[in-house]
Structure 1
Amino acid sequence: MATRDRLDRAEAATALPDPEALSRNAGLLAEEIGRAAARYFQPAEGGAPPKGMNEEVAEIVRTLAGVAEKWFADPQKASEAQGRIAKEFVDLWGATWLRLQGQSAPAIAEPEPKDARFSHAEWSTNPVFDFLKQGYLITTRWAEYLVDNAEGLDDHTRHKAQFYLRQVSGALSPSNFLMTNPELIRHTLSENGANLVRGMRMLQEDIEAGKGELRVRQTDPTAFEVGRDVAVSPGEVVFRNDLIELIQYAPTTETVLKRPFLIVPPWINKFYILDLNPSKSLIGWMVSQGLTVFCISWVNPDMRHADKDFESYMREGVEAAIDAIGAATGEREVSAAGYCVGGTLLAVTLAYQAATGNTRIRSATLLTTQVDFTHAGDLKVFADEEQIKGIEARMSEKGYLDGSRMAGAFNMLRPNDLIWSYVVNNYLKGKAPSAFDLLYWNADATRMPAANHSFYLRNCYLDNTLAQGRMVLGNVRLDLKKVKVPIFNLATREDHIAPALSVFEGSSKFGGKVDYVLAGSGHIAGVVNPPAKAKYGFWTGGPAKGRFADWIAVATETKGSWWPYWFQWLEAQAPERVPARIPGEGALTSLGPAPGTYVRMKA
């Protein structure tokens, strides 16, 4: 007991701040804040003016103000809404008063079980911080009620308001501020404020890394190098043009399937999400099953590529790759897979080839791919006429969309996890984020050529022309119903980018047999789910017809990775095998080792 008492006293003593160190760190903090502010408010590179309320903030204000107008238009409904939140705060005041008197009281509002922002014990045990937490939850849920129940809002405006409200409520959480977060207060006192000094230094570094824009780091950027730590599967670049490098991967089996396989990754991110490391590389696993794998590595475009449009990406990307594969292997036909927007491009190519009598792609695997954008998820928030015109105006200045713009949009899909948790960890706790290959890839941004991105936003997200049979490419009207090749259509259950419902409904647009498979987890983890990990699972249930909820209700769940199930589907179509092909030993010689040069280009 005496030993325990001594330890308790020692712990209490170390918890007290050192006044001298606290004062010294306060001075250093002021200096670091000044440096960070000076860098942020100085003109951006290229002579742009200092930052003010940009278009995105103005759009948020306009949208939420429109919701408020709907409520103020009906004084009775507005009064009822005010009474709703007033009652909850009266109940909260009463419960808090009881707790301050040492009595117990039930919570008025509790966070969701997965909400890690309020996991520290004092958010519940301390009545003051519990009041802040519950008051925040009451207010944000009331605001959500206003958006959901505002009369007279069109669907797109309501969707925008719901999305923007999540951004605002995420930013205003008491967990994000030093003086309203009990964990941060204790952490700061225990370090005498040194954590804040480190945090401001990291803030300044992140503004520098963003060239005047704040680019919140999510991992240690020095921990990985492309070709050394990520994108490490051995192979050779066997073809290159202005848009792509084509990588042929080295075999690991004595025989391979006769029909070669082409991967069309998204150009919004770099291809090595499918080759992060040997233990979770889809590309490496495919090679190990006996596939001759070719993968497109898209160029990171600059102003020279401003006029490269969707047709360019089809002809100089997918079709050029198929031509090169034919030269390298002597095979006319290929199987292909497209991931995300790469899958959309693959579907467009299939429709174009079906219209022109081309039969070179004999089967297609679509990974979290949308062809019908009716239910396209939260990214559709950015795709109305006014916002697209704003994006096009920005792209016209340089000929491309900055990679940071797309990265920011993706982070906004999960702001508490991908933005504010890192703000708190980096700048308030003063802790550098841990090394994580997935987040390194996430931060390795790519640009979008102006012509390509404008076509994609307008024809897919805004007008949905592909699903309606109205998309025209190369003077050819595209009809997915003419696509008869077998299609493996993979969705993921928690996908925020290509929602499972959207992929499900897209299945009905094709004219041939479509195997719809629903994997567990989200847009990345649901796809990159190696068998050795035995994580998540997948659901199969026959043709994607009728209501999505009804399909799920009768679907069969299988534990583990979908990869082996998919490979059985693929192998059954063309099981013939030939001796393994060595990259660079065919008609196409090596232009350099994988992963090539395009993937190393920084935005």
Structure 2
Amino acid sequence: MAGGASDLAPGKRDRRFTDPAWSENPLLRRLVQLYLAAGRTAEELVADAGLEARDRRRVEFLVENLTEALAPSNVPLLNPSSAKAAIDTAGLSLVRGAGQLARDLVSAPRIPEMVDGSGFAVGENIATTPGAVVLRTEVLELIQYRPQTETVSEVPVLVVPPTINKFYAIDLAPGRSLVEHIVREGRQLFVISWRNPDARHADWGFDTYVRSILDALDAIEEITGTDRTMLGGICSGGILATITSAHLAAIDRQDRLAGLFLAVTVIDTTDAGTAGALVDRRTAEAAKRRSRRTGYLDGRSLAEVFAWLRPGDLVWNYWVNNYLLGKRPPAFDILFWNSDTTRMTAALHADFVDMSLDNQLADPGTLEVLGTPIDLSRVTVDAYIAAGVADHITPWESCYRTTTLLGGESRFVLSTSGHIAALVNPPGNPKASYRVNDTNPPESSAWLAGAEVRQGTWWSDLTEWLSARCGGTRPAPDHPGSDTRPVVGDAPGTYVHEK
């Protein structure tokens, strides 16, 4: 290889070495080949080591991070694009990059800035679907979206968002909003916006959040005059929605639910990807102690952890752009949302950690919430479960295992996207597709082998599923709220603005 006989080259999708100099300059070409060969050797050594699944994921995580960090494209001036930028700007690109690096190191998350958020404003060009806040408590605001059709389905829909980010991942820009899509399909839609907690709210745990979802269901039933609601949840919000469903089943009130839909939600934490493999009891207890001291877990800490799960795309890509080229990161609505993190109360953090480590939701009766044992097999309403095939936070195979835990009929849908892109999947993208299978075999690999690929977005599939379970239609309400539940403000509310 050192003599130049190797034909080893970067893959066509490897953006690190697209500059022609990496292939045309003999020295740079040999350097890239040596780097690629070393990385391939490291991967083969791990694959041949015969490690247990958990240990293998940990070693793979370490090897991937070391390999990505050592890429020659990360070195100032050695990177041809960096050298050209320095020449073109008389060194100002490196000066700007050094300034950005210093600013990023000052505060968490200590990773390169991923988005230029200066052009985004929540309520102005982000989270703009018309609606009103019809319930405000210490824990949440409940948003009722204004109908955009003459008639609406009898059964309303309630969506529970994540607890570590703000709700508007499902209501980004017009045309890229799941909220907008559901409303335009004739649904009565309600979405929770969680308060951004601080140290005063350290004791809010599963009981508090499930009780708050029940409060939201009470308000929806009162406003709409119906006795059933379709309950949905996303990521950690999906866990809370599932627990709520099991609690209602335990007290014989599952009749309040028309169904359950979950997106990018892991319930069974057995071998739940790299993130799960990196956490053991010692590190978990240390993390819980830290959040107890402050009263909360800072969402920026999680954002940093999640970034290192995909170091090439979420760290070193921006290292080159921001520091070596001295450019600003792109303005992208998904990344703006991702940077708008929230805190998680210490009690809720501890509850989630314990649930994950002990896999409590997969073991009936192990977890108690609001005084009732949680047994997911008693949740017999139909369920819709969506996941992303490229999801690095909630692996789709782990999401699939929910089909084996719930007691009703489940439909599993697999999008081509990652964690958040799976949610922002509007119609009109000619490259979009998803997989479906009318059966749910025990193993995810068997499901995938028998799945059918359909063109378009899984949003359309969800629409059909909801239509079959949300009853007939009725005239759309003239205004949000009711006499007993008056409007307290316009969407997107006030809690979404809390920092």
TM-score higher than 0.5: yes
Using the alignment, how far apart are the partners of 1:118 and 1:390 within structure 2? 40
Selected match of 1:191 from 89, 95, 98: 89
Which amino acid counterpart does residue 401 of structure 2 have in structure 1? E
Q: Is 1:404–1:445's contact at 8 Å kept on the other side of the alignment?
A: yes
Q: 1:400 touches 1:448 (CA, 8 Å); kept in 2?
A: yes
Q: Residue 215 of structure 2 corresponds to which residue in structure 1?
A: 320
Q: Any conservation in 1 of the 2:432–2:457 contact (CA below 8 Å)?
A: yes
Alignment RMSD: 1.7
2:261 is paired with a residue whose SS is strand
In structure 2, what is the equivalent of residue 333 of structure 1?
228
Quote the Cα distance in structure 1 between the aligned partners of 2:252 and 2:181. 33
Instruction: Write the deviation string for residues 237-258 of structure 1: whole angstroms up to 9, x where unpaired.
Output: 1111121111111111111111
Aligned residue number for residue 118 of structure 1: 17
Q: Which runs of 5+ in 1 are unaligned?
A: 1-91, 96-104
2:498 corresponding residue in structure 1: 601
Q: What is the deviation of 1:324?
A: 1.4
State the AA in 2 paired with 1:123: W
> Which residue of structure 1 lines up, in the alignment, with residue 49 of structure 2?
150
Aligned counterparts, 1:386-465, within 5 A = 386-460=282-356, 462-465=357-360
Q: Which residue of 2 aligns with 1:93?
A: 2
Alpha-carbon displacement from aligned partner over 1:332-375 (angstroms, at most 9, x marks no partner): 21001111111111111111111111121220111121111113
Shift of 1:553: 2.3
1:247-286 map, 5 Å: 247-286=143-182
1:127-185 CA distances to partner (integer Å, 9 max, x unpaired)?
Answer: 1111221222222222233333335x543233212112222222221111114312211
2:495 partner letter: Y
Shift of 1:585: 4.3
What's the CA shift for 1:417? Answer: 0.9
Query: Displacement, 1:206?
Result: 3.0
Shift of 1:302: 0.7
The offset of 1:435, in angstroms, is 1.2
Q: 1:249 to 1:419 in 2, by over 3 A?
A: same
Gaps of 5+ in 2: none
Map of 2:100 onto structure 1: 202
1:246-272 superposed Cα distances (whole Å, 9 cap, x missing partner): 111111111111111100111121110
Q: CA deviation at 1:563?
A: 1.6
* CA shift in 2, pair 1:112/1:472, >3 Å: farther
Structure 1 position 170 matched with structure 2 position 68: yes
- Return the letter of the residue paired with 2:6: P
Which whole-Å CA distance do the structure 2 matches of 1:197 and 1:264 have between them? 45
The answer on whether the counterparts of 1:382 and 1:388 sit within 8 Å (CA) in structure 2 is no
Q: Distance in 2 between matches of 1:425 and 1:554?
A: 42
Task: Say if 2:489 is the partner of 1:592.
Answer: yes
Structure 1 residues 479-538: Cα deviation after superposition (integer angstroms, max 9, x where no partner): 111110000111222221222211222211111111111222222222221113344111
Residues 75-86 of structure 1: pairs in structure 2 closer than 5 A: none
Structure with the larger helix share: 1
**1:47 corresponding residue in structure 2:** none
Structure with greater contact order relative to length (CA < 8 Å, sep ≥ 6): 2
Contact (CA 8 Å) 1:529, 1:535: kept in 2 or not? no
- Residues 192-214 of structure 1 deviation map (CA, whole Å, 9 limit, x = unaligned): 11101111222233345x26x63
Shifted more, 236-245 versus 195-204: the winner is: 195-204
Match of 2:40 among 136, 141, 155: 141
1:93 maps to amino acid: A
Q: Secondary structure at the match of 1:563?
A: helix
**TM-score normalised per structure 2:** 0.95
Q: 1:129 corresponds to which letter in structure 2? A: L
Q: What corresponds to 1:296 in structure 2?
A: 192
What does the per-residue CA deviation read over 1:20-74, in whole Å, with 9 as the maximum and x for residues that have no partner?
xxxxxxxxxxxxxxxxxxxxxxxxxxxxxxxxxxxxxxxxxxxxxxxxxxxxxxx
Task: Give the Å deviation of 1:328.
Answer: 1.8
Instruction: Provide, for residues 293-330 of structure 1, a one-character-per-residue CA deviation record: whole Å limited to 9, x for no partner.
Output: 100001111101111111211112x1111011122222
Distance 1:535 1:347 in 2: 32
Q: Distance in 1 between matches of 2:281 and 2:11?
A: 35
Query: CA–CA distance in 1 between the matches of 2:220 and 2:278?
Result: 37
Counterpart contact for 2:111–2:315, Cα < 8 Å: no
TM-fit CA distance, 1:283:
0.2
Counterparts of 1:457 and 1:138 in 2: how far apart (Å)? 39
The within-5 A match list for 1:222-233 is: 222-233=118-129
Is the Cα contact below 8 Å between 1:163 and 1:381 reproduced in 2? no
Letter in 2 for 1:272: Y
| Alpha-carbon distance between aligned partners in 1 of 2:100 and 2:452, rounded to the nearest angstrom | 48
Report the equivalent of 1:342.
237
Alignment check: 8 A CA contact 2:384 2:412 kept? yes
Residues 214-246 of structure 1, C-alpha deviations (whole Å, 9 max, x = no match): 352111121111111111111111111121111
State the alpha-carbon separation in 2 of the partners of residues 456 and 546 from structure 1. 26
Q: Tell me the SS of whatever aligns to 1:226.
A: coil
Please give the alpha-carbon distance, in whole angstroms, between the structure 2 residues aligned to 1:404 and 1:285.
30
Is the CA contact 1:198–1:427 (under 8 Å) kept in the aligned structure 2?
Answer: yes
User: Which range is displaced more, 251-260 or 545-554?
Assistant: 545-554
Report the CA distance shift for 1:480/1:591 in structure 2 as closer, same or farther (over 3 A).
same
Name the SS of the counterpart of 2:331 in structure 1.
coil
Asked if the contact 1:175/1:181 (under 8 Å) is kept, the reply is yes
Q: TM-score, normalised by structure 1?
A: 0.79
Q: 1:569 corresponds to which letter in structure 2? A: W
**Residue 227 of structure 2 corresponds to residue 365 of structure 1:** no
CA–CA separation in structure 1 for the residues paired with 2:312 and 2:117: 21
Stretches of 4+ aligned residues off by more than 4 angstroms: none
Whole-Å Cα distance in 2 between the matches of residues 403 and 510 of structure 1? 30
In the alignment, the residues of structure 2 paired with residue 223 and residue 441 of structure 1 have an alpha-carbon distance, to the nearest angstrom, of: 13
For 1:516-571, what per-residue CA distance to the aligned partner results, in whole angstroms no more than 9, with x for missing partners?
11222222222221113344111221121133233222222211012222112111
Matched position secondary structure for 2:265? coil
Q: Which has the larger radius of gyration?
A: 1
Q: CA deviation at 1:586?
A: 4.3
CA distance in 1, matches of 2:68, 2:286: 25
Aligned to 1:106: 6
Amino acid at match of 2:262: L
- 1:579 has 2:475 as partner: yes
Q: Secondary structure at the match of 1:120?
A: coil
